[in-house]
Structure 1
Amino acid sequence: MSPEVSAAPAAVVRLVGLREQPLELAEVVAALDHPASGAIDLFVGRVRDHDDGRGVTGLGYVAHPGAQAALEAVCAEVAADFDVQAIAVLHRTGDLAIGDAAVVLGTAAAHRGTAFDASRALIDRLKERVPIWKHQLFADGDASWVGTP
Protein backbone atom coordinates (compact mmCIF):
# COMPACT_ATOMS: atom_id res chain seq x y z
CA MET A 1 0.00 0.00 0.00
CA SER A 2 1.31 3.44 -0.79
CA PRO A 3 0.36 6.63 1.04
CA GLU A 4 -1.78 8.93 -0.98
CA VAL A 5 -3.10 12.44 -0.66
CA SER A 6 -6.65 13.18 -1.66
CA ALA A 7 -8.42 16.40 -2.43
CA ALA A 8 -12.12 15.83 -1.82
CA PRO A 9 -14.96 18.31 -1.16
CA ALA A 10 -13.48 21.80 -1.52
CA ALA A 11 -9.98 20.46 -0.72
CA VAL A 12 -11.11 19.64 2.82
CA VAL A 13 -9.65 16.13 2.75
CA ARG A 14 -5.95 16.88 2.81
CA LEU A 15 -4.21 13.61 3.66
CA VAL A 16 -5.41 10.00 3.46
CA GLY A 17 -2.99 7.12 3.58
CA LEU A 18 -2.12 3.59 4.56
CA ARG A 19 1.51 3.24 5.58
CA GLU A 20 3.89 0.47 6.56
CA GLN A 21 6.26 3.06 8.07
CA PRO A 22 5.76 4.68 11.50
CA LEU A 23 3.19 7.46 11.46
CA GLU A 24 4.23 11.06 12.05
CA LEU A 25 1.91 13.20 14.15
CA ALA A 26 3.53 16.35 12.73
CA GLU A 27 2.54 15.35 9.19
CA VAL A 28 -1.11 15.09 10.19
CA VAL A 29 -1.02 18.39 12.12
CA ALA A 30 0.59 20.15 9.13
CA ALA A 31 -2.12 18.82 6.81
CA LEU A 32 -4.79 20.28 9.11
CA ASP A 33 -3.44 23.83 9.02
CA HIS A 34 -6.11 26.29 7.88
CA PRO A 35 -6.46 29.99 8.71
CA ALA A 36 -10.20 29.67 9.46
CA SER A 37 -9.79 26.89 11.99
CA GLY A 38 -9.92 27.77 15.67
CA ALA A 39 -9.67 24.13 16.67
CA ILE A 40 -7.68 21.10 15.63
CA ASP A 41 -8.76 17.81 17.16
CA LEU A 42 -6.40 14.83 16.97
CA PHE A 43 -6.89 11.16 17.72
CA VAL A 44 -3.99 8.75 18.05
CA GLY A 45 -4.82 5.06 18.33
CA ARG A 46 -1.91 3.10 19.85
CA VAL A 47 -1.07 -0.55 20.35
CA ARG A 48 -1.79 -1.42 23.98
CA ASP A 49 -0.33 -4.26 26.02
CA HIS A 50 -3.64 -5.94 26.80
CA ASP A 51 -7.02 -6.83 25.36
CA ASP A 52 -9.98 -8.26 27.25
CA GLY A 53 -7.81 -9.15 30.24
CA ARG A 54 -5.08 -10.86 28.18
CA GLY A 55 -1.52 -9.69 27.65
CA VAL A 56 -0.73 -8.55 24.11
CA THR A 57 2.84 -8.64 22.78
CA GLY A 58 2.23 -7.03 19.38
CA LEU A 59 -0.04 -7.02 16.39
CA GLY A 60 -0.21 -6.70 12.67
CA TYR A 61 -2.60 -4.83 10.40
CA VAL A 62 -3.57 -6.09 6.96
CA ALA A 63 -5.50 -3.86 4.57
CA HIS A 64 -7.75 -5.09 1.77
CA PRO A 65 -6.75 -3.72 -1.67
CA GLY A 66 -9.90 -1.57 -1.52
CA ALA A 67 -9.07 -0.06 1.88
CA GLN A 68 -7.56 3.16 0.49
CA ALA A 69 -10.69 3.88 -1.56
CA ALA A 70 -12.94 3.06 1.41
CA LEU A 71 -10.90 5.35 3.65
CA GLU A 72 -11.14 8.15 1.09
CA ALA A 73 -14.92 7.66 0.89
CA VAL A 74 -15.28 7.85 4.68
CA CYS A 75 -13.23 11.05 4.75
CA ALA A 76 -15.32 12.62 1.98
CA GLU A 77 -18.48 11.67 3.85
CA VAL A 78 -17.27 13.27 7.09
CA ALA A 79 -16.24 16.37 5.12
CA ALA A 80 -19.78 16.60 3.75
CA ASP A 81 -21.45 15.95 7.12
CA PHE A 82 -19.47 18.41 9.27
CA ASP A 83 -18.46 22.04 8.87
CA VAL A 84 -14.71 21.39 8.87
CA GLN A 85 -11.88 23.07 7.02
CA ALA A 86 -9.54 20.08 6.92
CA ILE A 87 -9.39 16.31 7.47
CA ALA A 88 -6.32 14.09 7.64
CA VAL A 89 -5.90 10.39 8.45
CA LEU A 90 -3.04 7.90 8.33
CA HIS A 91 -3.35 4.21 9.25
CA ARG A 92 -0.49 1.75 9.73
CA THR A 93 -0.22 -1.64 8.12
CA GLY A 94 2.28 -4.38 8.87
CA ASP A 95 3.72 -5.40 12.23
CA LEU A 96 3.49 -3.00 15.17
CA ALA A 97 4.94 -3.11 18.68
CA ILE A 98 3.37 -2.04 21.97
CA GLY A 99 3.12 1.76 22.01
CA ASP A 100 3.26 2.22 18.24
CA ALA A 101 0.70 4.53 16.66
CA ALA A 102 -1.76 2.47 14.60
CA VAL A 103 -3.87 5.41 13.40
CA VAL A 104 -3.43 9.17 13.53
CA LEU A 105 -6.30 11.35 12.40
CA GLY A 106 -7.64 14.80 12.90
CA THR A 107 -10.02 17.49 11.84
CA ALA A 108 -9.84 21.27 11.80
CA ALA A 109 -12.91 23.42 12.34
CA ALA A 110 -13.83 26.92 13.44
CA HIS A 111 -14.97 25.61 16.83
CA ARG A 112 -13.86 22.75 19.09
CA GLY A 113 -17.25 21.04 19.31
CA THR A 114 -17.40 20.54 15.56
CA ALA A 115 -13.80 19.31 15.47
CA PHE A 116 -14.46 16.84 18.33
CA ASP A 117 -17.63 15.53 16.68
CA ALA A 118 -16.06 15.21 13.24
CA SER A 119 -13.01 13.34 14.58
CA ARG A 120 -15.23 10.96 16.53
CA ALA A 121 -17.32 10.29 13.42
CA LEU A 122 -14.16 9.76 11.38
CA ILE A 123 -12.65 7.12 13.67
CA ASP A 124 -16.00 5.39 14.24
CA ARG A 125 -16.78 5.17 10.52
CA LEU A 126 -13.23 4.06 9.72
CA LYS A 127 -13.50 1.20 12.25
CA GLU A 128 -16.95 0.22 10.92
CA ARG A 129 -16.36 0.38 7.18
CA VAL A 130 -12.71 0.37 6.13
CA PRO A 131 -11.45 -3.18 5.53
CA ILE A 132 -8.36 -3.18 7.75
CA TRP A 133 -7.90 -6.27 9.91
CA LYS A 134 -5.90 -6.64 13.10
CA HIS A 135 -3.97 -9.80 14.02
CA GLN A 136 -3.26 -9.74 17.77
CA LEU A 137 -0.43 -11.72 19.32
CA PHE A 138 -0.99 -12.69 22.95
CA ALA A 139 1.55 -13.25 25.73
CA ASP A 140 0.38 -16.86 26.13
CA GLY A 141 1.35 -17.64 22.51
CA ASP A 142 -2.20 -17.50 21.17
CA ALA A 143 -3.28 -15.13 18.38
CA SER A 144 -6.59 -13.85 17.03
CA TRP A 145 -7.95 -11.78 14.16
CA VAL A 146 -10.10 -8.74 14.91
CA GLY A 147 -12.34 -7.02 12.40
CA THR A 148 -12.46 -9.82 9.85
CA PRO A 149 -15.74 -10.62 8.14
Structure 2
Amino acid sequence: MRVLVQSEAFDAGAELNRFSAGHSGVGAVVSFTGVVRDSDGDLQEMVIEHYPGMTEKAITKILEEAMSRWALADALVIHRHGPLKTGDQIMMVATASAHRAAAFEAADFLMDYLKSRAPFWKKEVTDAGSAWVEAKDADEDALKRW
Protein backbone atom coordinates (compact mmCIF):
# COMPACT_ATOMS: atom_id res chain seq x y z
CA MET A 1 0.00 0.00 0.00
CA ARG A 2 1.45 3.33 -1.05
CA VAL A 3 0.31 6.97 -0.96
CA LEU A 4 2.25 9.62 -2.85
CA VAL A 5 1.30 13.30 -2.79
CA GLN A 6 3.67 15.22 -5.01
CA SER A 7 4.09 18.20 -7.29
CA GLU A 8 6.14 16.25 -9.84
CA ALA A 9 4.63 14.57 -12.89
CA PHE A 10 4.54 10.77 -12.85
CA ASP A 11 4.73 8.08 -15.51
CA ALA A 12 1.46 6.15 -15.17
CA GLY A 13 2.77 3.21 -17.20
CA ALA A 14 5.92 2.86 -15.11
CA GLU A 15 3.93 3.24 -11.89
CA LEU A 16 1.47 0.55 -13.01
CA ASN A 17 4.30 -1.82 -13.97
CA ARG A 18 5.98 -1.26 -10.59
CA PHE A 19 2.67 -1.76 -8.79
CA SER A 20 1.83 -4.96 -10.69
CA ALA A 21 5.22 -6.62 -10.26
CA GLY A 22 5.66 -9.37 -7.70
CA HIS A 23 2.06 -10.09 -6.76
CA SER A 24 1.46 -13.83 -6.91
CA GLY A 25 -2.16 -14.90 -6.58
CA VAL A 26 -3.45 -11.64 -8.03
CA GLY A 27 -5.92 -12.13 -10.87
CA ALA A 28 -6.82 -8.47 -11.41
CA VAL A 29 -5.11 -5.11 -11.44
CA VAL A 30 -7.26 -2.06 -12.07
CA SER A 31 -5.95 1.46 -12.58
CA PHE A 32 -7.37 4.87 -13.30
CA THR A 33 -5.50 8.05 -14.14
CA GLY A 34 -7.25 11.41 -13.92
CA VAL A 35 -6.19 14.32 -16.13
CA VAL A 36 -6.90 18.05 -16.13
CA ARG A 37 -9.69 18.84 -18.59
CA ASP A 38 -10.72 22.18 -20.04
CA SER A 39 -14.50 21.95 -20.26
CA ASP A 40 -15.07 25.55 -21.38
CA GLY A 41 -11.96 26.12 -23.48
CA ASP A 42 -10.48 28.90 -21.37
CA LEU A 43 -8.58 27.11 -18.60
CA GLN A 44 -5.09 28.48 -18.09
CA GLU A 45 -4.26 26.22 -15.15
CA MET A 46 -5.68 24.35 -12.20
CA VAL A 47 -3.96 24.93 -8.88
CA ILE A 48 -4.31 22.15 -6.29
CA GLU A 49 -3.50 22.90 -2.66
CA HIS A 50 -3.27 20.61 0.36
CA TYR A 51 -1.91 20.37 3.90
CA PRO A 52 1.21 18.16 3.90
CA GLY A 53 0.96 15.35 6.42
CA MET A 54 -2.79 15.69 6.90
CA THR A 55 -3.50 14.79 3.28
CA GLU A 56 -1.32 11.66 3.29
CA LYS A 57 -2.82 10.55 6.61
CA ALA A 58 -6.40 10.94 5.32
CA ILE A 59 -5.67 9.06 2.09
CA THR A 60 -3.85 6.29 3.98
CA LYS A 61 -6.90 5.84 6.20
CA ILE A 62 -9.26 5.43 3.24
CA LEU A 63 -6.77 3.07 1.55
CA GLU A 64 -6.77 0.92 4.68
CA GLU A 65 -10.57 0.86 4.60
CA ALA A 66 -10.55 -0.22 0.95
CA MET A 67 -7.94 -2.92 1.68
CA SER A 68 -10.14 -4.44 4.37
CA ARG A 69 -13.50 -4.05 2.60
CA TRP A 70 -12.38 -5.70 -0.64
CA ALA A 71 -9.54 -8.01 0.49
CA LEU A 72 -7.05 -6.28 -1.79
CA ALA A 73 -3.52 -7.53 -2.19
CA ASP A 74 -2.31 -3.97 -2.72
CA ALA A 75 -3.45 -0.42 -3.44
CA LEU A 76 -1.81 2.77 -4.68
CA VAL A 77 -2.82 6.43 -4.77
CA ILE A 78 -0.72 9.12 -6.41
CA HIS A 79 -2.09 12.67 -6.28
CA ARG A 80 -0.40 15.81 -7.52
CA HIS A 81 -0.56 19.32 -6.14
CA GLY A 82 0.52 22.72 -7.41
CA PRO A 83 -0.21 24.35 -10.78
CA LEU A 84 -1.32 21.94 -13.52
CA LYS A 85 -2.10 22.53 -17.20
CA THR A 86 -4.78 20.98 -19.41
CA GLY A 87 -3.85 17.35 -20.12
CA ASP A 88 -1.58 17.00 -17.09
CA GLN A 89 -2.14 13.95 -14.92
CA ILE A 90 -3.71 14.83 -11.57
CA MET A 91 -3.96 11.46 -9.89
CA MET A 92 -3.72 7.71 -10.24
CA VAL A 93 -5.43 4.90 -8.36
CA ALA A 94 -4.42 1.26 -8.70
CA THR A 95 -5.83 -1.79 -6.93
CA ALA A 96 -4.86 -5.47 -7.02
CA SER A 97 -7.02 -8.38 -5.96
CA ALA A 98 -7.54 -12.06 -6.61
CA HIS A 99 -10.76 -11.19 -8.49
CA ARG A 100 -11.70 -8.35 -10.83
CA ALA A 101 -14.92 -7.31 -9.09
CA ALA A 102 -13.07 -6.43 -5.89
CA ALA A 103 -10.35 -4.56 -7.79
CA PHE A 104 -12.89 -2.53 -9.82
CA GLU A 105 -15.13 -1.75 -6.84
CA ALA A 106 -12.24 -0.71 -4.62
CA ALA A 107 -10.78 1.52 -7.33
CA ASP A 108 -14.18 3.14 -7.87
CA PHE A 109 -14.58 3.68 -4.12
CA LEU A 110 -11.14 5.28 -3.89
CA MET A 111 -11.81 7.57 -6.84
CA ASP A 112 -15.13 8.70 -5.35
CA TYR A 113 -13.39 9.42 -2.06
CA LEU A 114 -10.56 11.37 -3.71
CA LYS A 115 -13.04 13.44 -5.71
CA SER A 116 -15.22 14.37 -2.73
CA ARG A 117 -13.45 13.90 0.60
CA ALA A 118 -9.69 13.97 0.25
CA PRO A 119 -8.30 17.22 1.67
CA PHE A 120 -7.39 18.98 -1.58
CA TRP A 121 -8.56 22.39 -2.72
CA LYS A 122 -8.73 23.17 -6.43
CA LYS A 123 -8.69 26.59 -8.02
CA GLU A 124 -9.33 27.09 -11.72
CA VAL A 125 -7.53 29.98 -13.37
CA THR A 126 -9.31 31.01 -16.57
CA ASP A 127 -9.23 33.89 -19.00
CA ALA A 128 -11.94 35.54 -16.85
CA GLY A 129 -10.09 35.18 -13.53
CA SER A 130 -9.82 32.50 -10.86
CA ALA A 131 -12.32 30.63 -8.69
CA TRP A 132 -12.25 27.75 -6.24
CA VAL A 133 -13.93 24.60 -7.54
CA GLU A 134 -17.05 23.85 -5.53
CA ALA A 135 -18.31 20.39 -4.59
CA LYS A 136 -20.80 18.91 -7.04
CA ASP A 137 -24.01 17.20 -6.00
CA ALA A 138 -23.24 14.29 -8.35
CA ASP A 139 -19.93 13.66 -6.58
CA GLU A 140 -21.64 13.68 -3.19
CA ASP A 141 -24.34 11.33 -4.49
CA ALA A 142 -21.68 8.90 -5.73
CA LEU A 143 -20.43 8.47 -2.15
CA LYS A 144 -23.85 7.29 -0.94
CA ARG A 145 -23.45 3.89 -2.61
CA TRP A 146 -20.50 3.05 -0.36
Shared topology, TM-score over 0.5? Answer: yes
Partner Cα distance (1:28, 1:91) in 2: 14
Partner Cα distance (1:57, 1:109) in 2: 39
TM-score, length-scaled by structure 2 = 0.82
- How far the C-alpha of 1:127 sits from its partner, in A, is 2.3
- Look up the match of 1:95: 83
- How far the C-alpha of 1:24 sits from its partner, in A, is 2.2
Aligned partner letter, 1:49? D
Pairing partner for 2:10 from 23, 30, 38:
23
Whether 2:50 is the aligned partner of 1:63: answer yes
TM-score, length-scaled by structure 1 = 0.81
Higher strand proportion: 1
Whether 2:133 is the aligned partner of 1:146: answer yes
- How far the C-alpha of 1:147 sits from its partner, in A, is 5.0
- Look up the match of 1:7: none
Aligned partner letter, 2:45? G
Please list every run of 5 or more consecutive structure 2 residues that lacks an aligned counterpart in the other structure. Answer: 136-146
Higher helix proportion: 2
Alignment length (residue pairs): 132
- Look up the match of 1:46: 35
Sequence identity percentage = 30
Native 8 Å contact 1:40 1:115 kept in 2 = yes
Partner Cα distance (1:144, 1:20) in 2: 21
Native 8 Å contact 1:47 1:98 kept in 2 = yes
- How far the C-alpha of 1:21 sits from its partner, in A, is 0.3
Partner Cα distance (1:55, 1:111) in 2: 42
Cα root mean square deviation, aligned: 1.7
Q: Name which of structure 1's ranges 30-39 and 86-95 shifts more when overlaid on structure 2.
A: 30-39
Native 8 Å contact 1:85 1:108 kept in 2 = yes
